[in-house]
Amino acid sequence: MGDLTPHNIFVMFLSIAVLLGTAHVLGELAQRFRQPAVLGELVAGVLLGPSVLGTLFPTVQVFLFPLEGANAFVLNALATIAVVLFLLVAGMEVDLSIIWKQGQTVMKVGVGSVYLTIFNRIYFRLVISCFFGEQGGDERDSFQFIFCDRTCHFCASRDSKNIAGHEPI
């Protein structure tokens, strides 16, 4: 892994500042359009990732977010901690009394979203990928899975509001 030099530390803090700043600005922008801040934060991740920044400015993307070395190790560790904390906070915000009151609805929505995710995954993998003649095992597989998963959770949240007559959990 190697030691962190002053240059590595500077680049690490610069990377974190760019990530947090972009996420904050796009989160605020999303809220102005009456969307959840997390939507803008997710868009920030896409913009700073290999899909946009890596395509338009590959040297900047590799400089800020290297794939190997000490900075990559530190950024991966911070990302893991951030995901754990995000899930912890999301779990703490769940109102269990609503889940117990709407138990059958919650079970239907939860099971339905799992099956819908699996169905969409199979559909995208077998039908769409075969149509374009692509082989499995690349980074597009991860994107397809995440896209299907997020789409299903959005639909499940919307449906739970319609079924239960109140805001989704």
* Per-residue pLDDT at 159 exceeds 50: no
In the 8-state DSSP scheme, what is residue 35?
Answer: -
Query: pLDDT band for position 97 (50/70/90)?
Result: confident
* Per-residue pLDDT at 148 exceeds 70: no
pLDDT at 122: 76
Let me know the angle formed at the C-alpha of 4 by 3 and 5, rounded to the nearest 5 degrees.
Answer: 110
The better pLDDT of the pair 158, 125 is held by 125
pLDDT at 163: 44
pLDDT tens digits for range 42-89:
899 899 988 899 999 999 999 999 988 888 998 899 889 988 988 888
Helix (H, G, I), strand (E, B) or coil at 96: helix
Q: Report domain extents, the chain.
A: 6-92, 96-164
